[in-house]
Structures are given as structure tokens and as C-alpha cells.
Amino acid sequence: MSWWRRMTMTQARGAGREPVAGTGAMAAAAVREGRTLNAFTWLDPAWMPPSVGQGPLAGFGCAVKANICGAGWPNDCASAVLSHYRSPYGSTAVARLQAAGGLCLGLANMDEFGMGSSCEYSTYGPVQNPWREGFTAGGSSGGSAAAVAAGLAWFALGSDTGGSVRLPAHCCGIVGLKPTYGRVSRYGLIAFASSLDVIGILARSVDDAALVLSVLAGPDPRDATSLDAAFAVPDPGLPVRGLTLGVPRDLTDGLAEPAVREDFERTLAVARDLGLKVVDAPLPAAADAVQTYLVLAAAEAASNLARYDGSLYGGTTEPGAGSVGGTAFEQQVTATRTAGLGPEVKRRILLGTHVLAAGYRQRFYDRAQAHRKVLTARMQEVLGVVDALILPTAAEGAFRLGSRLDDPVAMYRTDQFTVPASLAGLPALTLPTGLDARGLPLSVQLVGPRLGEDLLIRLGRALEEALDFRSRKEAPWHRLP
């Protein structure tokens, strides 16, 4: 196994390894292995600049999800409707990475416009799980997670709307960090659901995720939702003994598979051995979180995706010979969207349009907004009593590709443990903990108070060291030298 696959960024720097050498090997491997793993939609031939900066990420190469813009990049969001689009500007996140010396290797595959939990709704085809072919890498940031787990990038950027960073981290056995809503600028992130979208980080260790967050976090005058909240990596010597973890058993009990429950209880036992207090923290309002999320996210998606009508974005598709009714422009819109958008995107646009329609808004959208406020208030109340919540990231390990394409409801339930933090705008950290009987990764999720990323990093470090997952287990992506 190559040295860059064994090491995290912090380990490589401490061992005096030259990160550019590892990045070069990763870039070559991404070209060689790209078609089989299908983690990238585009590889930048000019990833290596004439000179590498001296910032905290100097020489480390990353994958960037295909909905996070870079100037001149083909940011198509894995959708046919943007197949000819080249971004005229770059995102704040990418600009900050590059200013810190980070190298962007290419764009990572994803569910179309971020809508999905398995990375199968992509015009490029599904991403393979580096632990076992034929299984999902999680969605919608599956390409980002697979690239990191397979050793094709030191770290990756993803976007998290309802769990799209944390679920791929869970499926691929790596760390996934969703920051507090607004802590990382969304400027240059192609919108899905604007009140939920967050740029997140996928990495091989908690310290790597913290290092990247320290570069990304902070205010941005081009994003009105960004917070004046920079992030500094907490001192590794800070203790965690005496901190309290709350377990929302009313949400998890009876829903998780036996292997997940056993792994979760083992992790709680490790937490207690570290001196952490573990108490029950009921969250009854989270029982309907998936339904609330689907209504609100679909409503915002219907509004945000209205721009893809063929007039400015989405190319131009001429109406077919059988087109009937409406103006010429309406026929063009219908033809463009029919040809350019996939089934899941169409499903969510239809749902969002329905819940916002006259006569239905109060029944669905307004009730979902009210429930979101109740859930947010309850989570903030609980996090005033405990320091952080802990629960599984998902009810099972990675599932087989194709097994849920005919059952959208089952696909939506995959996010049942991740959407509460998204609805409340709270930070969350997914941490690998073990393997199930099939040899596929399992994980836990830590949810902290608003702007509580430093606390999550401290807790994550302690659990990561005690669980010792990384030194014993690697994604067996056997094609890499």
C-alpha cells in the first residue's frame, strides 16, 4: 500500500513527507482508476500550478464536488441540463483552499443537483464504494467520499443539505464534517435548498477535517447568510472527561439494524471509558424530520431550479414534433427540462411545486416550517443540557446499488438520522467506528450546538484515537499499487 494512502495530512506533515509527491501519485491514480470507481466527473489537467503556496494546505490535493464552482470548470452538477456549462467564476470555498496552497485535482461525481442518497442519480452513472464494488458510496457527495477513501485525494469538499456529506462518510469509512449553517460561505455553491445547503468536508481524520475548516470558515460579503465566525483548530491537549453525550433513543431504537445497534453500544462503552457521561436525550420532534425535510427541500428546489429553462441555463432543446399547447417558450421549457433533468430531480420539482400551490401551501409547506421551528427549539433545548448528541449516522451500512431505485420512500428514509441537524442548522461530525458482517463501514454521528465545531473536534479526536479505526482498516481498493 502506498504511503499516501496510509497517512493523513497531519501525519504526512509530521513525518516530513512531501505532500506534492503524494498528490501527484493521487492524480495519476485518479486517471488510471477513474472509470471503474467513477468518483470524478472531470480531472483538471492543470491541477499543478507553476508554484505551490506556503499556506496550511500547501501541496495537498483535493476533490471538489461538481456543484461547487471554479472559474472555467465544467460544473454540471452531474446533470445533462448543464452539460455545456462552464462556470464564469469561482466559489469562495475554492478560492480559500487555493489561497492556502491547496490543489484541486478535479470535480467529484454526485447525485444530480445533490438530490439523492446513493450517488446513482448522476448522468455519469453510479459511484462504486471503495470497500466493495456494487454497493453505494452514499449520496449525494459519494464521489467526494469515494475519492478520499480510495486514496485519490487527501480530502474533499462536498455539500450537505440533509446528510449528503455525512452519509457518504459513513458508507466509505471516513470522517465527514457538516459545519454550522453559514459558517462556510455558500457563494459559488449551485443551490438545491438554500436554507439547508452547507459546504462540508470529507477527510481521513478529524484533525484533517478541522484543518480544512480553519481555512474555509469565516464571513463573506458575497454571501448574506455567512456568519462572522472564523474557526481555529482546538488545542489537542484539551480534555473531554466530564462532558455529556445525549442519546436520542426514541429516534434510533427499533430503526437501526442489529449490527448498527451493537456497534453503537460498543462506541458508547468506549465513550464512557474516556470519562464521558452518556445520558438519554429524547427528541420526539425528530420522528417526522424526514417528512418535514422533504417538503421544505422540495419547495426550495422547485424555486431554485426554475432557472433551468433553456433561455440562459440548460442549453436549448427544440420542442418535439408531438408538442402541444402553450406558447413557444413554454414548449421550449418543457422540452429542455424533459430532456435535461433526471427522474429524481423531476420528482422533487413536482413535489415542491405542489406544496407551494394555492390551496396546499398551508396544509403542507406552512406546517413543515412550523415543525422545523419546533424541532430546532427542542434540539437547542437539549443541547443546553448535554454537550453534544450522539447517534448512528444511518440505520445500516452501505446498501447494494439499484436496490432502492424503485422505492423512493425507502431511499428518503436513509437520511432519517441526519436530517434533524440539517433542519436545525447545527454542526455534525460523522466518525467511522467499525465494520458490519459484510465488511462495510459503520459510524456514529456527533451533533453539537450552534458554532460548536470546536467541541465536536475535541470529542471526535478522543473517540477516533480510542476506536483506532484507521490503523486497522482501509478501503480495500485493490487496483491501486
Residues catalogued as catalytic: 65, 140, 164
Q: Are 65 and 98 in contact (CB under 8 A)?
A: no
Rounded to the nearest 5°, which phi and psi values hold at 472?
A: -100, -20
b/e per residue 226-248 (b: at least 16 CB within 10 A): bbebebebbeeeeebeebebbbb
* DSSP helix/strand/coil, 398: coil
Cα distances (angstroms) measured from residue 82 to each of 77, 109, 305, 344, 348? 7, 14, 12, 16, 18
- Do 161 and 113 form a contact (C-beta atoms < 8 A)? no
Helix (H) or strand (E) holding 245: strand 244-247
Burial class (CB in 10 A: 0-12, 13-18, 19+), 325: exposed
- Cell readout for 238 is 484539551
Show the cell assigned to 318: 427544440
350: which 3 cell numbers?
413536482
* Partners of 107 in beta bridges: 42, 64
Per the structure block, which three cell numbers stand in for 319?
A: 420542442
- Closest listed residue to residue 290, CA positions, set 421, 109, 398: 421
Separation CA 197–CA 181 (nearest Å) = 8
